[in-house]
Amino acid sequence: MSVIRFFRKLFAKQFNEIDQSRLIYILSLAVGLFSSLAAAVLKNSIHYTRRLLTEGITPESGSYLYLIYPVLGILLTVLFVKYIVRDNIEHGVSRVLHAISRKKSRISSHNNWTSLLATTVTIGFGGSVGAEAPIVLTGSSIGSTIGRYFGLNYRYVTLLIGCGAAGAVSGIFKAPIAGIVFTLEVLLLDLTMSSIVPLLISSVTAATVAYFLMGDNVLLSFTITGAFNIRNIPWYVLLGGITGMVSLYFTRLTLFLEAGYKEIRNIYIRLLAGGLVLGILVFLFPAFYGEGYDAIMALLKGESESLFQSSLFSKLGGGYMVFSLFFLCLILLKVVASSSTTGAGGVGGIFAPTLFLGGVTGFLTASLLNKFALLDLPDNRFVLVGMAGTMAAVMHAPLTAIFLIAEITGGYSLLIPLIITSTTAYITVKGFERHSIYHIQLAEKGELITHDKDKAVLTMMEWKKEIERDLTTVRSTDNLGELVKTISKSSRNIFPVVDEYNILQGVVYLDDVRDIMFNSDLYKSVFVKDMMTIPPTYLDLSENVEAVMEAFTKTDAWNLPVLDKGYYVGFLSKSRIFGTYRDLLVQFSQE
């Protein structure tokens, strides 16, 4: 961050005098600039790595290299992560969400570059994943690093993380609106005037830099010609239902396969297993090599036959059934290729595989309807709308899907089909999966930030830090005289009763013994077990904060004991936990 340090020294007086709400505008521009530069570096490094490795390869002459490259790429990635990074950099978007909810928006600064290098090696050598999630992690890390360097509070650091994500998506696709909407839908940032302006600045800065550096050379660029045909609306609804179910298949099988790979404890056996599966799939279906955008562009340009001819399926003949079976296999096996890449140790995301899946699904749907229903549906429109359908369903982000496809096609002539298919796909998958593939694992742990401020604050709250562990314990066999001595040395009014194994037996409250504590005649005849009460409930360290708040609400207690698998730990005070809740709510809601 030497560049940032230089400018801060140069304008030290100005930075010290400006308030954070205005400073954020300047920093959002810087985050957008650096995020876009990172996106350009990653895009070009992947392109030239792949070009260096695959130039001149044909199915007849050298496709056996497809069996070797993926294994080698994942091996290099695993070694890089294990011995140089020494941190988990997989699943970029989920890591950003986890940082926001559980790490006070702190993302390790090494993510400014490590994801770029690891992703380049993984995808350049044939990993069947996308570069978007790693670049979102990189952009978010840049935002987090800059925000923390300038001493901003949690809310503004989180906003700069959103600016980095918006800049990354905007820069890699030249789609500024999609970048902003992605941040709001997927990273779940609040939509307020104080947040939308920095996002706008970052996103448009990134898109401008992308235009300057790359011109029209972006990942996806296709201009739609012709008007929307209203008679095709039923088929777009049908495509929405199909892409919704395909997305459900993709989501559940991805989670299942990645969990299966994690069961293989030896990282090198896992690497070999996943690498071989990926290598075989790439050997059989060269379209699986890398992100898959070349295959999408071939479908958009009407060159589907070239995809078929480059695979071993062409050896089975050229009939329509074999042709259709080939594209069905692409749909069913893409998830295996992408999950094997990440499961084996590669670094990448599901953004590109989702678009690939939707494009092929849209093409095959249109092809089958044209063949058997004697329709004349435009293949390229169904490819684009299918991409929006799977993105809306897999990511639970219909607006991102709509605006991204609309922007990369250079206009909004597809807007109505995009809305129809994306909405249908989203509704379809929502009936089966409450959360997106990015959010599902965090939601299961209770670590997912949402647009609901109450739930968001509860997610951020680390209730275990509020446990009071300094209360003096007593034994049930202690008499009143011994208890009075303990009370005289304590400034608290609660005395947990535990046995020799530190198992909680009850609680003695000062108010319960106040009437008899000065009667010395009772000192030896009355025991703690006669005065202790059983708490209305207890809290366990394994419980999430929502369960803690619910326990206080149901019991109406002011203090509750905290246990760790039955062993006494301390007490939690309602006033203390609600005080922390209020402080966080004020910080989170501040406009």
pLDDT at 458: 57
Structure tokens at 36: 């876009």
Could you report the average pLDDT of every consecutive run of 10 residues in the chain (591 residues)?
56 59 89 94 91 74 79 94 89 85 85 93 94 93 93 87 94 91 82 82 93 70 75 94 96 94 92 94 91 91 87 78 92 96 93 95 95 86 95 94 88 86 96 86 62 56 81 89 86 87 89 83 85 89 82 86 90 80 61 47
Same domain for 176 and 78 = yes
Q: Tell whether 3 is covered by a domain.
A: no
| Nearest residue to 439 via CA among 87, 98, 90, 89 | 98
Looking up residue 528, the CATH number of its domain turns out to be 3.10.580.10
Instruction: Assess contact for 361 and 246: CB atoms under 8 A.
Output: yes
Instruction: Assess contact for 314 and 304: CB atoms under 8 A.
Output: no
Q: Tell whether 570 is covered by a domain.
A: yes
Same domain for 204 and 326 = no
- Which of residues 430, 454, 478 is at a domain's end? 454
Same domain for 193 and 118 = yes
Same domain for 254 and 210 = no
The conformation of residue 91, written as its DSSP 8-state character, comes to: S
pLDDT at 582: 67
pLDDT at 443: 66
pLDDT at 2: 57
CB-facing half-sphere around the CA of 170: CA atoms within 13 A: 31
Q: Tell whether 9 is covered by a domain.
A: no
DSSP line for 242-304: HHHHHHHHHHHHHHHHHHHHHT--SHHHHHHHHHHHHHHHHHH-GGGSTT-HHHHHHHHTT-H
Same domain for 171 and 61 = yes
Residues in the chain: 591
Same domain for 350 and 480 = no
Q: Tell whether 15 is covered by a domain.
A: no
pLDDT at 58: 61
Q: Tell whether 493 is covered by a domain.
A: yes
pLDDT at 313: 77
Q: Tell whether 181 is covered by a domain.
A: yes
Domain coverage including residue 513: 457-589
Same domain for 402 and 305 = yes
pLDDT at 408: 86
Is-above-0.85 flag for pTM? no
For the chain, how many structural domains are there in total? 3
Q: Tell whether 190 is covered by a domain.
A: yes
Same domain for 438 and 465 = no
pLDDT at 343: 93
